[in-house]
Amino acid sequence: MVTRIGHVGLHVKDVDRSADFLEQVLGLRVSERAGGRAYLTSNGRHHEVVLIQSKDRGYDHVGLEVADRQALESAERALRSAGARVVGYEEEPGIDRALRVVITGGHVFKLFCGMEHHGGPVGDGDRAVKFEHVSLNVRDMAGVERVLEQLGFRLSDRVGKILAWWRCDADHHGVALSRYPRTKLHHYAWTFEDVAALTRVADRAAAAGHPLLYGLGRHGPGNNHHIYFRDVDGFVVEGCSELAQIGPDSTYELGRKWKIRDTNLWGPQAPLPFIRAGVPIARSARRA
């Protein structure tokens, strides 16, 4: 049902400052500005992140793309059967139709179809290639997983009862879940061409006053290189390369019994500031 991870919406203090940071460090570009919002992309899609001028700190929603209006209506029925609260349909620049839904634990999904495309990728290998995934802190992991299953996601990997990675396309994961006492967006992630590009992203982030929070390393689940740093609004950004691709010709072994130590095959485990990171849902995001 869901065909890809679409975008993330973030409440920020200063849209211009936030957009400048994402342009300079990740290589994104602004595709549209409207009503105190900026829409940015790394490629030909209309947007992959929405910056919302607001005093209400937090993240607004996770955008999930479906094929068409018929699939959107099917997704609405599936979400209602999974116990989600359907807030309603709303307008968003660059897309045909969007449905805001509050799921188990309070996370907000925006199901949408019909995103505009304007040519191919922009820039060079130092720029983000695409928006890749979100990582959510959840209290009721089983409840959130039931929602993902209703939307057509499939489980790729687990670490015991505390971490899980779910996919909706060839990428190893589009949504990662971490059991945690508070409901938060832990991080949002972008694909880069290779590990060398990640080192240059780290250089630019550090030069902007945002040194790495964790990494460089390689995750066992997903097999990807990773770096993490905070953006100017305190949201954690992950840069990834070589994320495992799942399909008929894939050599990746799904469903291994991973341990916490496997989350970084190259070195130290995640530091406490990284584990405790994340931004709660904005109060206005669950609007009726």
Domain containing 166 — which CATH number? 3.10.180.10
Over its length of 288 residues, how does the chain's per-residue pLDDT go in tens digits? 999 999 999 999 999 999 999 999 999 999 999 989 999 999 999 999 999 999 888 999 999 999 999 999 999 999 998 889 999 999 999 999 999 999 998 999 999 999 999 876 555 678 999 999 999 999 999 999 999 999 999 999 999 999 999 999 999 999 999 999 999 999 999 999 999 999 999 999 999 999 999 999 999 999 999 999 999 999 999 999 999 999 999 999 998 999 999 999 999 999 999 999 999 999 888 775
Same domain, 221 and 174: yes
Specify the pairing of strand 163-167 against strand 154-159.
antiparallel
Determine whether 169 is exposed, middle or buried from the number of CB atoms within 10 Å of its CB (0-12, 13-18, 19+): middle
**Last residue within a domain, chosen from 115, 140, 158:** 115
- The residue behind tokens 């799904």 is 254
Determine whether 286 is exposed, middle or buried from the number of CB atoms within 10 Å of its CB (0-12, 13-18, 19+): middle
Domain assignment of residue 141, given as a range: 130-280
**Within a domain: residue 288?**
no
**Within a domain: residue 287?**
no
Q: Give the torsion through C-alpha atoms of 204, 207, 209, 213, to 10 deg.
A: 50
